[in-house]
């Protein structure tokens, strides 16, 4: 990507960081340890969630860096042929989001300088209004240039208990970033009554974990707040583009503190008055469970499965063999969702709104109302020792 793709000359490009971790347990049996959520096309968009994330960032980013687990490196490289191999950073083991994002930020600082703007965006979210997203990132970049750690605040479309919230304070006066507001604080996932109170004030946004900052600003905050973690990350980053990378990584990485970027940086820096937010409405979804998929996958308008959302060959094992049309048929089942990665004929008869997930070794039949309980099913399989199904 070159500077010429910048559509608003007043906003600088960022270096995009995409932490790609987490299995997406609530989407079992579609998502598995070895086929995590971000590697799947869960919305029938014709591209996987991580491919969508990278594509969406192209208009606002100079480079893309992905941090993922060793186990998923090959699959990520396969799915992202446009991302240079040197920008795919493999973690030897999961050390939570601060280590992952911190390492990427430090490597970018070494490669592009500490003034470089970085922006971190999860690999497994969807956004329908990309223009609104780009506008928010551009404002965030301008605020970040001015020294802020910036988070994008998602307009809450309901009193969700599934997300943490950002509390916005007074406006910030940065040219060309009119929506910027100081962040008064972050909250954990609230209960329903508290969430409703948040919404009523008009000052709360969902925290989607999107952070934009100068690399040097982020790393300086980390050095001040978590000096050991910062030192470890800097050691690895300094060795990254040298022959010593593997040796240093193996020695230092395992002892890095496991902590989320929210706790390590966002909360304490916000308390000190250093975090800004750009509120935005962009049709965002974290694809958190089958209830989300029911909303994200359009129902077929004709054919044997009319009225049903069908997600064929969603990227899991065996999906390559799947024929497209005609494998799912439905009668009297409007609003149902079928996700299938097998060759079987799936027939729904009189089951409106049902969720059927059909994979070669596991079948889940549930409803959107039970989407959050899927995690418990996976926990049960784990307790049973059925690692082959996880």
Question: Cα separation of 226 and 214, whole Å?
Answer: 18
Question: Cα separation of 343 and 364, whole Å?
Answer: 16
Nearer to its own copies, 258 or 382 (CB): 382
Per CB under 8 A, which of residues 9..48 are in contact with its own copies? 29
Residue of the chain from 363, 379, 382, 390 that contacts its own copies (CB under 8 A): 363
Strands 204-214 and 165-171: antiparallel
Interface stretch with its own copies, choices 174-182, 187-195, 294-302, 361-369 (CB under 8 A): 361-369
Question: Cα separation of 45 and 297, whole Å?
Answer: 9
Residue of the chain from 31, 53, 65, 329 that contacts its own copies (CB under 8 A): 329
Task: Give the relative orientation of helices 96-112 and 215-225 as an angle to the nearest 10 degrees.
Answer: 130
Nearest Cα to Cα of residue 286 among 29, 34, 35, 42: 42
Q: Judged by CB under 8 A, does residue 334 bind its own copies?
A: no
Q: Judged by CB under 8 A, does residue 348 bind its own copies?
A: yes
Nearer to its own copies, 10 or 343 (CB): 343
Nearest Cα to Cα of residue 259 among 220, 226, 231, 236: 226
Please tell me the count of residues contacting its own copies according to CB under 8 A: 38
Per CB under 8 A, which of residues 114..173 are in contact with its own copies? none
**At residue 307, what are phi and psi to the nearest 5 degrees?**
90, -10
Per CB under 8 A, which of residues 298..317 are in contact with its own copies? 304
Interface stretch with its own copies, choices 1-9, 180-188, 244-252, 370-378 (CB under 8 A): 370-378
Nearer to its own copies, 156 or 377 (CB): 377
Residue of the chain from 345, 379, 382, 387 that contacts its own copies (CB under 8 A): 345
Sort 99 into a burial class: Cβ within 10 Å, 0-12 / 13-18 / 19+.
buried
Contact between 219 and 106 (Cβ < 8 Å): yes
Q: What is the residue whose two structure tokens read 């980390």?
A: 222
Q: Judged by CB under 8 A, does residue 382 bind its own copies?
A: no
Nearer to its own copies, 263 or 370 (CB): 370
Residue of the chain from 6, 299, 331, 390 that contacts its own copies (CB under 8 A): 331
Residue of the chain from 16, 156, 269, 346 that contacts its own copies (CB under 8 A): 346
Q: Judged by CB under 8 A, does residue 356 bind its own copies?
A: yes
Residue of the chain from 23, 199, 306, 347 that contacts its own copies (CB under 8 A): 347
Question: Cα separation of 363 and 341, whole Å?
Answer: 10
Interface stretch with its own copies, choices 140-148, 181-189, 260-268, 381-389 (CB under 8 A): 381-389
Nearer to its own copies, 22 or 304 (CB): 304
Query: At 150, is the secondary structure helix, strand, or coil?
Result: strand
Q: Judged by CB under 8 A, does residue 193 bind its own copies?
A: no
Instruction: Enumerate the H helices of 181-338 as residue ranges.
Output: 192-201, 215-225, 227-240, 245-252, 261, 267-271, 290-296
Contact between 151 and 269 (Cβ < 8 Å): no
Question: Cα separation of 207 and 125, whole Å?
Answer: 12
Q: Where on the chain is the footprint of its own copies (CB under 8 A)?
A: 29, 304, 326, 329, 331-332, 343-351, 354, 356, 358-367, 369-370, 373-374, 376-377, 380-381, 384, 386, 389
């Amino acid at each position: 990507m070159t500077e010429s793709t910048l559509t608003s000359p007043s906003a600088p490009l960022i270096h995009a960081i995409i932490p790609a971790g987490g299995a997406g347990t609530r989407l079992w049996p579609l998502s598995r340890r070895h086929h995590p959520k971000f590697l799947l096309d869960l919305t029938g968009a014709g591209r996987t969630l991580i491919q969508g994330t990278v594509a969406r960032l192209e208009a606002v980013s100079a480079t893309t860096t992905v941090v993922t687990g060793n186990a998923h490196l090959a699959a990520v490289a396969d799915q992202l042929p446009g991302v240079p191999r040197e920008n795919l950073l493999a973690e030897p083991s999961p050390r939570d989001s601060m280590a992952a994002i911190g390492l990427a930020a430090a490597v970018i600082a070494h490669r592009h300088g500490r003034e470089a703007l970085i922006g971190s965006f999860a690999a497994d979210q969807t956004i329908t209004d990309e223009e609104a997203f780009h506008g928010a990132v551009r404002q965030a970049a301008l605020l970040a240039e001015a020294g802020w750690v910036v988070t994008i605040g998602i307009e809450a479309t309901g009193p969700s208990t599934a997300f943490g919230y950002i509390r916005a304070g007074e406006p910030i006066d940065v040219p060309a970033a009119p929506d910027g507001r100081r962040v008064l604080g972050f909250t954990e996932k609230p209960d329903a009554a508290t969430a409703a109170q948040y919404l009523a004030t008009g000052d709360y946004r969902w925290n989607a974990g999107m952070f934009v900052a100068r690399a040097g600003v982020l790393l300086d905050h980390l050095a001040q707040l978590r000096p050991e973690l910062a030192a470890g990350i800097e050691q690895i980053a300094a060795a990254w583009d040298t022959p010593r990378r593997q040796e240093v990584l193996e020695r230092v990485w395992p002892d890095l503190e496991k902590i989320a970027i929210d706790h390590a940086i966002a909360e304490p820096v916000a308390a000190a008055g250093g975090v800004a937010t750009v509120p935005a409405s962009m049709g965002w979804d974290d694809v958190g469970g089958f209830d989300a998929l029911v909303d994200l996958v359009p129902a077929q308008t004709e054919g044997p499965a009319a009225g049903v959302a069908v997600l064929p060959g969603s990227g899991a094992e065996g999906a390559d063999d799947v024929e497209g049309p005609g494998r799912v048929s439905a009668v009297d089942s409007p609003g149902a969702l079928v996700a299938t990665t097998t060759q079987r004929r799936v027939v729904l008869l009189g089951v409106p709104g049902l969720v059927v997930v059909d994979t070669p070794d596991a079948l889940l039949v549930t409803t959107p109302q039970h989407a959050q309980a899927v995690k418990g099913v996976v926990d049960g399989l784990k307790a049973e020792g059925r690692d082959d199904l996880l």
